[in-house]
Chains A and B, each alone.
Chain A
């Protein structure tokens, strides 16, 4: 550790490295940050790479495809929507850095559609104190949205895990009163929120018997054999899965290996992506027909139509835009693409709704006042108000058919609605408005 003059030399060298990396600071625009006469800049953070990326790394490409479509039709009041995406690899340390980059260098107007609870929690406070809109976050973690005083600029882009679990739990309890119901969940915010929702619905599980857990992200390295073995040993008839799709695939494959055939599988929508499910099983050597048969009969929930409902007007319109405009690496039409498109559709609606004079403050107050009236592909109403920033407050329940399409149970789509607290589950009477012929939102 000899250091005399070399230290000075190194410091100079370090400064050189630093200055090389620093891009010319973009010129500040008058008015709201991120809004110019020709452009609105939105920023998104998500895991593009790393263990948490599968499936989710398609959402940004889908959203960008819709924005590109809007831009091709003249944009929002002549302004093109530009989406800047940063990969945080699902590590909060990086989320903090890339958020600062989006704010200070890309000069975004608002955060849009960021994915990941553990990562978003590291920046949500900072984004809110800077009063930057943080719209349509792709996380169902209810604590982000139920107290707008705490996070006034953050709005959900998904229904909360709690709401979905409450609706699913109530259904299962009423439909199968005599069966043993068990749960497999990942021990993180998502799993625990879902567990809380199921408990509110009256489902009680016994640790080491009817409830099995695993550390999120380890299904790919440790497998789920002991968890599935435990549920099997305790004679669980109905298995609820609150985990990501790749874990669902491992769970089904393991159950097949152990000769375990529960009467029903019920999968929280986060983990019920048929594409991921079939891709993983497919590369395990399971033919598509077999994996489809494995999934068939599984109960899941959704707020929007299933991606396979090609006669649905929103699905048809979005799928066409995906075919024409999506420039991502994987453009296969599935739940993740639909979610990205739908969030982009909502964002476009909100930006149009605010009007020509777009400011951050106006966007937030617009969403609080009129957000619940915005339409989208969803069959469930939006919950935005002064007192709550929750998105879709309802879900419909379906079962997968033999072609991996989620179809409403008993052939009739019933949308249930509830809140993230102790409120009752009721049937929603929301009527989804039609999509316009050009698939652009029409906002009064």
Chain B
């Protein structure tokens, strides 16, 4: 019995390693086709993907909704920026430590969250996102007020440029982010396929029957929240190192964008998280291209990205609540069916 489980674990572990590496290579290959701007967008996707994964984990796996994931990102961002600028830590170490700081913060909040179902958690996280600029301004000498703290990835190191040739600053930022994205993906894949993941899903699907099955609902929710916070904090640190850690970097809109990405792709699917993140990052560019082709006046064009994202969100929820990934699975299922019908087996 125990042997078969550990065997299964190994298989899962191997598969998720493979997928994480695959994604890593895919991004690198894609970046080679891109100009520096789109390399930066790709790095942006890789960064935000981590935050979207945290929502996939939180909402998709345990059913809790956070509207203030950006606030937890800010915790990670400030943690790493302060570690680097005040204590002279290396950027890499600060990213790792940001995970722990924000997870700790998540623990504190999660203790409250465990008692908060649905709207209560959503609202609390929203208020938190709102309070961040105030906290930054209130403790200005420490947090740098509303102008924040300047941090960046630095220039590509010489060992790398001597190895792969001259690369742009944007490409370097992608190389910094990607290992963490792969790591996050690996972690989430493993978590969701283990017993813990199954426990979480049981809580999500039906709290009462999960409780009857002997699962400690409160504790499970806190654990999920802590894990999701760690991920969001890591994303926040990476996001801040694009140039600035400050209140205007983590506005409430950011939290909503992340939620949108998770929903569009499909709240329960990691593939969906990837698709959703690609969509929210590239959609504004796509719209800009269209509006500039048709010479739409700026007074209208400026609002189109917001309109498109809102509409997409609604359409997803109405037509296909399980998101793009659900559609994907459905198509996949149908193809399979057709194949099996048309012969063979």
Name A's B-contacting residues (CB within 8 A).
1-3, 5-7, 9-11, 13-15, 17-18, 20-23, 25, 48-49, 85, 87, 90-93, 96-97, 100-101, 103-105, 117-119, 121-123, 125-126, 129-130, 141, 187-189, 192, 215-216, 329
- New A-B pairs, 20, CB < 8 Å, besides A6-B271, A126-B169: A3-B189, A3-B270, A3-B271, A3-B325, A9-B271, A11-B23, A11-B274, A14-B275, A17-B275, A17-B278, A18-B38, A18-B42, A21-B285, A23-B285, A48-B298, A87-B302, A96-B242, A119-B248, A121-B150, A122-B150
- Identify B147's interface contact among A1, A93, A121, A129, CB under 8 A: A121
Check A6 against B302 for contact (C-beta < 8 Å). Answer: no
Partner of B36, one of A10, A23, A100, A189: A100
- A sample of 27 cross-chain residue pairs with beta-carbon separation below 8 angstroms, ordered by A number, consists of A1-B201, A2-B269, A2-B329, A7-B19, A7-B270, A9-B328, A10-B269, A10-B274, A10-B275, A14-B275, A14-B278, A17-B278, A17-B279, A18-B278, A21-B289, A49-B302, A87-B298, A92-B246, A93-B248, A96-B244, A100-B170, A104-B170, A105-B35, A118-B146, A118-B246, A122-B148, A329-B298
Q: Are B137 and A188 in contact (CB under 8 A)?
A: yes
The answer, yes or no, to whether B231 is at the interface (CB within 8 Å) is no
- Report whether B41 and A97 are in contact in the complex, using a CB–CB cutoff of 8 Å: yes
Evaluate whether A9 and B332 lie within 8 angstroms (CB atoms) in the complex, with A25-B35, A91-B251, A126-B152 already known.
yes
* Cα(A329)–Cα(B302), bound, Å: 13
- By a CB distance below 8 angstroms, the chain B residues around A91 are 248-249, 251, 253-254
Q: Secondary structure at chain B's binding surface: helix, strand, loop or mixed?
A: helix
Given the interface contacts A10-B271, A215-B134, does A93 sit within 8 Å of B239 by beta carbon?
yes
B282 within 8 Å of A (CB atoms): yes
A22 near B34 with CB under 8 A, answer: yes
- Residue B272 at the A interface, CB < 8 A? yes
Say whether B60 faces chain A, with CB atoms less than 8 Å apart. Answer: yes
- The CA of A215 and the CA of B242, in the complex, are separated in Å by 26
Q: Which of A3, A91, A104, A187 has the most CB of B within 10 A?
A: A3
A1–B152 CB distance below 8 A: no
Option from B26, B145, B244, B299 in Cβ contact (under 8 Å) with A92: B244
| Cα distance A10–B273 in the bound complex, in angstroms | 9
Given contacts A118-B248, A188-B137, A7 and B148 within 8 Å (CB-CB): no
A1–B270 CB distance below 8 A? yes
B66 contacts partner chain A, Cβ-Cβ < 8 Å = no
Please tell me if the beta carbons of B243 and A92 are within 8 angstroms of each other in the complex: yes
Q: Which 4 residue pairs of A and B lie closest in terms of their CB atoms, listed nearest first? A: A10-B271, A122-B244, A104-B37, A21-B282
**Pairwise interchain contact A97-B325, C-beta atoms closer than 8 A:** no
From A14, A21, A25, A97, B40 is in contact (CB under 8 Å) with A97
Q: What chain A residues lie within 8 Å of B289 (beta carbons)? A: 21, 23
| Bound form: Cα–Cα A151–B172 in Å | 22
Q: Is the CB of A215 within 8 A of B137?
A: yes
Most buried by B among A92, A96, A121: A92
Nearest Cβ on chain A to B268's Cβ, whole angstroms = 6
Are B243 and A125 neighbours in the complex by a CB distance under 8 Å? yes
The answer to whether B246 touches A122 (Cβ under 8 A) is yes
Residues of B within 8 A of A15 (CB): 26, 30, 278
Mark B139-161 against chain A: 1 for CB-CB distance below 8 A, else 0.
Answer: 00000011110101001000000
Q: Is B286 interfacial (CB 8 A cutoff)? A: yes
Give the distance to chain A from B294, nearest Cβ to Cβ, in Å. 15
Are A104's CB and B35's CB within 8 A? yes
Instruction: Tell me which residues across on chain B come within 8 A of A105, comparing CB atoms.
Output: 35, 37
For B286, the chain A residues whose CB sits under 8 A away are 17, 20-21
A62 to chain B, nearest CB (A): 14
Min CB distance A61 to B, Å, is: 9
B303 at the interface (CB under 8 A from A): yes
State which of B30, B242, B254, B332 has its C-beta within 8 Å of the C-beta of A6.
B332
Cβ distance B305 to chain A, nearest Cβ, rounded Å:
10
A360 to B285, CA, bound (A): 28
Of chain B, the residue at the smallest CB distance from A9 is B328
How many angstroms from the CA of A327 to the CA of B149 in the assembled complex? 38
Q: Of B251, B253, B268, which one neighbours A1 at CB under 8 angstroms?
A: B268
Q: SS class of chain A's interface: helix, strand, loop or mixed? A: helix
Cβ B37 vs Cβ A101 within 8 A: yes
Residues A13 and B40 in contact, CB atoms below 8 Å apart: no
Residues of A within 8 A of B271 (CB): 3, 6-7, 9-11
Cβ–Cβ < 8 Å partners of A21 in chain B: 282-283, 285-286, 289
B44: which of A7, A10, A97, A103 is its contact (CB, 8 Å)? A97
User: Do A11 and B26 have beta carbons less than 8 Å apart?
Assistant: yes
Any A CB within 8 A of the CB of B324: yes
| Chain B positions 330 through 345: 1 when the CB is less than 8 Å from some CB of chain A, otherwise 0 | 0110000000000000
Collect the chain A residues with CB atoms within 8 Å of residue B137's CB. 187-188, 215
- Report A-chain residues with C-beta under 8 Å of the C-beta of B331: 9
The minimal Cβ–Cβ distance linking A145 to chain B, given in whole angstroms, is 14
B265 located at the interface, meaning its Cβ lies under 8 Å from any Cβ of chain A in the complex:
yes
A7 to B188, CA, bound (A): 14
Question: Which chain A residues lie closer than 8 Å to B325 at the CB level?
Answer: 3, 6, 10
B268 touches A188 (CB 8 A): no
B214 contacts partner chain A, Cβ-Cβ < 8 Å: no
Residues A1 and B244 in contact in the complex (CB < 8 Å), given A13-B324, A188-B137:
no
> Once bound together, how far apart are the Cα atoms of A329 and B328, in whole Å?
43
Cα distance A21–B35 in the bound complex, in angstroms: 12
Once bound together, how far apart are the Cα atoms of A10 and B331, in whole Å? 12
Partner of A121, one of B44, B244, B251: B244
**Which residues from chain A contact B253 at a C-beta distance below 8 Å?**
91
Please, which residue of chain B has its CB at the minimum distance from the CB of A122?
B244
Chain B residue contacts of A85, Cβ below 8 A: 298
Residue B133, interface by CB 8 Å: yes
Q: Does B297 contact A (CB under 8 A)?
A: yes
Which residues of A have CB within 8 Å of B247? 118
**Which of A6, A119, A141, A192 counts the most chain B CB atoms within 10 A?**
A6
Whether B226 is near chain A, meaning CB under 8 Å from some CB there, is no
Nearest to A22 among chain B residues (CB) is B38
Give the distance in Å from the alpha carbon of A141 to the alpha carbon of B297 in the complex: 32
Min CB gap A267→B, angstroms: 21
Q: Which residue of B lies closest to A47 (CB)?
A: B302
B269 touches A1 (CB 8 A): yes
Q: A187's closest neighbor in chain B, by CB?
A: B137
Interchain CA distance A14-B282 in the complex, whole Å: 10
**From A7, which residue of chain B is reached at the shortest CB distance?**
B271
B129 within 8 A of A: no
For residue A92, give the distance in angstroms from its CB to the closest CB of chain B.
4
B233 in contact (CB, < 8 A): no
Q: Closest approach, in angstroms, between the C-beta of B34 and any C-beta of chain A?
A: 7
With most chain A CB atoms within 10 A of its CB, the pick from B42, B269, B298 is B298
Find chain A residues with CB under 8 A from B254 CB: 91, 93
- Neighbouring B residues of A49 by C-beta, 8 Å: 302-303
Interface pair B282/A18, CB less than 8 Å apart: yes
Q: Which residues on the A side are within 8 Å of B75 (C-beta)?
A: none
Q: Which single residue of chain A is at the shortest CB-CB distance from B297? A: A329
Residue of A nearest to B267 (CB): A1
Nearest chain A CB to B253's CB is how many angstroms away?
Answer: 7
Q: Does B68 contact A (CB under 8 A)?
A: no
Alpha-carbon distance between A13 and B60 when the two chains are bound, in angstroms? 21
